[in-house]
Structure 1
Amino acid sequence: MKVLTASTDPGYTRPTRLSPLDKWLSHYLQDERDLPFAHLILKITATMLPLAVVLFIPAFRGPWWWATFGLFFFFSNARYKGPFGLMLHCTSHRMLFKKKYGWLNHYIPWVLGPLFGQTPESYFVHHMGMHHPENNLPDDESSTMFYQRDSVRGFLRYLGDFLVLGVVRLTGYFTRRNKTTLRFRLLRGEAIYLVGTIVLAFLNLPATLAVFVAPFVLSRVIMMLGNWAQHAFIDATTPDNCYTNSVTCINTNYNHKCWNDGYHISHHLKPAMHWTDHPAHFRTNLGQYIEQKAVVFDGIHFLHIFFYLMAKRYDLLARHFVLLDGAARDEASVITFLRSRTQRITLPVLVPQLA
């Protein structure tokens, strides 16, 4: 177990002087604090887009093709996947570009997103139109609560359901909620991605598999893996409470790379809060985290949580569990507490709590 220590996660301090490039970029941005997003967009545009185009050149074959694919795969998965995915997340909640340059806001989901397997606008409509309004409760089609959350079999069922029926279920949700605009945006993006991929496959199958199909599968697996870990610890008596149906990860390099994504509790409490404000918000509202018995880890992130749960290594989770109130607890009691939060919640148990 760990005691709460000083934050090492990124906040924001305005630089005394902006570079000429940053001054120019700031002219287009709604919030100067999002300059790192503009830098990331430029880097991806300068690397992955040209590589993707080269992979589709018919005369480009053999070792050079494989070398280019290796470089594309490196940028797509090792270098930029996390930062891009969480930039997409942040810019879904807060538009990146000013209203007068609003057309630029389509560049991330429609141009760069497909290179990471993100079908245009599907992430936005799922996350903003369904996940946040339903807050991992039964009407959330990606809810984790009805699964045993330290079970490999449970996760495979969860993942399989999303891969096979995710779009169908989300379409049904929007129909039931009469959110016809979001339904149209979902189906339009999915259809364009599917048709485009089929057409490109006839032109160059290896390149299509490398640039669009493999990233698509990987992105959906990783998104569900992340959501599983973020909502693995749920208090069955208060499943609608953001403090007890989410988890927070502090003091981890992941928060530097992925825009403080570890602060998932405060993100559900205040979805529109800027990513640089989360560490301070956590410290300011520490009393609520203590009172609500929130689950907070120090030094690990959601991939650690996922794999520790799949291996049932509650001892490793307990090692990074933060004793927010400073009171001493033995490892056994922390493990018992964490296990209680990962148990499958059945509907008969849940209904009285939501009445």
Structure 2
Amino acid sequence: MTLFRHPRDRIPVLLFFTAFALDLTVYFTARSWWLPILWLALWVIPKGWICAWNHHHQHVSMFRHALPNRLLEIVFGFQTGATSHGWFLHHVLGHHRNYLDQEKDEARWKRRDGTAMGEQEFSIITTLTAYPRAFSVGREHPRAFRIFLGMGALQVALLGLLFWHDWYNALWVFLLPMCVSLYVTVWATYFHHAGLDAAEHTHASYNIVHRGYNLVTGNLGYHTAHHARHGLHWSQLPALHAQLSRDIPVTLYRQPGIPFVWSGAEAQIELSPGEVEPLAR
């Protein structure tokens, strides 16, 4: 029996562990003050993409067994700032259940007075409250909460060991990228939902169908499909989007961010089933 739930996760997981090995190499070998800073700058965008895959893992775990999943979540924790089951509690059991209700949504983009937050306001507030809100949701889900607390303590202990060994490299190679990546993850939520006060899935998310963007984010751009069936594996989202596309308003398609916006025009926004089928395969 294969170790993976879905064979398509093999290459992404290999890339995540390779990226983590590179982080460790820089951490243990860098002797110049500027190299860890340069490393952070070079990996800001790629680690933002890894955040999308951590998100997918929180919905559909990549391994069949707990031990390799927990090991992967430690790696994800150092790369994205979202520790094991933290995003599962905040995002899967919180945001996905409540995102149509801005009074309950754990990633709510409305202020208490009903007006919409600005992009930076939302991103800062939601980043700072991410773990408290995950903690709040966790009290209603004891099993996941225990894993969240235990793995969180382990993550902090490992980060503490890294700081004890070399605080400067630990700061630039691990802690600051963790903070930046968590912020990027939150910002992406704003990008997908802010301003859409809707009662139906097909009207509550923006979509990005740029092929390059979806290649590196695991089809995160098919966000309506993701919210319609959040337990669906990332590789199956284009096919579901094709089924839902006739009900998605044309105004709910967006350009991707940097660097894909530099490549020019958006890919065709309404994909026919014939165009989506190869992506689904």
Q: Secondary structure of the equivalent of 1:268?
A: helix
d(CA) in 1 for partners of 2:17, 2:267: 38
> By how many angstroms is 1:124 displaced?
2.5
CA pair 214-46 structure 1, distance change in 2 beyond 3 A? closer
> By how many angstroms is 1:148 displaced?
5.1
Name the residue aligned to 1:271. Answer: 230
- Any stretches of 5+ residues in structure 1 without a counterpart? 1-25, 56-60, 308-318, 326-355
> By how many angstroms is 1:264 displaced?
0.6
Instruction: Determine which of 151, 160, 167 is the counterpart of 1:205.
Output: 167
Name the residue aligned to 1:77. Answer: 44
> By how many angstroms is 1:70 displaced?
4.8
Moved more, 130-139 or 242-251: 130-139
Name the residue aligned to 1:141. Answer: 106
Moved more, 184-193 or 244-253: 184-193
| TM-score, normalising length: structure 1 | 0.64
CA RMSD in angstroms, aligned pairs only: 3.3
Contact 1:114 1:212 in 2 (8 A): yes
CA pair 103-322 structure 1, distance change in 2 beyond 3 A? same
Q: Does residue 214 of structure 2 align to residue 255 of structure 1?
A: yes
Q: Does residue 134 of structure 2 align to residue 170 of structure 1?
A: yes
Q: Highest relative contact order (Cα 8 Å, sep 6+), 1 or 2? A: 1
d(CA) in 2 for partners of 1:129, 1:48: 31
Q: Does residue 194 of structure 2 align to residue 232 of structure 1?
A: yes
Q: Secondary structure of the equivalent of 1:277?
A: helix
d(CA) in 1 for partners of 2:94, 2:214: 25
Amino acid aligned to 1:133: R
Name the residue aligned to 2:246. Answer: 287
Instruction: Determine which of 41, 58, 71 is the counterpart of 1:107.
Output: 71
| TM-score, normalising length: structure 2 | 0.78
> By how many angstroms is 1:266 displaced?
0.4
Q: Secondary structure of the equivalent of 1:105?
A: helix
Name the residue aligned to 1:328. Answer: none
d(CA) in 2 for partners of 1:83, 1:160: 19
> By how many angstroms is 1:218 displaced?
0.3
- Any stretches of 5+ residues in structure 2 without a counterpart? 272-281
Q: How many pairs align?
A: 265
d(CA) in 1 for partners of 2:266, 2:194: 16
Q: Describe how 1:1-355 pairs up with structure 2 within 5 A.
A: 27-55=2-30, 61=31, 63=32, 66-67=34-35, 69-70=36-37, 72-73=39-40, 76-78=43-45, 80-99=46-65, 102-137=66-101, 138-146=103-111, 149=116, 154-175=118-139, 178-194=140-156, 196-198=158-160, 200-234=162-196, 236=197, 239-290=198-249, 295-297=252-254, 300-301=255-256
> By how many angstroms is 1:156 displaced?
3.3
CA pair 125-302 structure 1, distance change in 2 beyond 3 A? farther
Q: Secondary structure of the equivalent of 1:273?
A: coil
> By how many angstroms is 1:294 displaced?
6.2
> By how many angstroms is 1:249 displaced?
0.9
Q: Percent identity?
A: 19
> By how many angstroms is 1:71 displaced?
6.0
> By how many angstroms is 1:225 displaced?
0.8
CA pair 119-174 structure 1, distance change in 2 beyond 3 A? closer
Amino acid aligned to 1:260: N
Max Rg structure = 1
Q: Secondary structure of the equivalent of 2:207?
A: strand
> By how many angstroms is 1:161 displaced?
2.4
What whole-Å deviation, never above 9, does each CA across 1:29-55 have from its counterpart, x for those lacking one? 222222322331342244223323335
d(CA) in 2 for partners of 1:115, 1:33: 21
> By how many angstroms is 1:301 displaced?
1.7
Amino acid aligned to 2:130: G
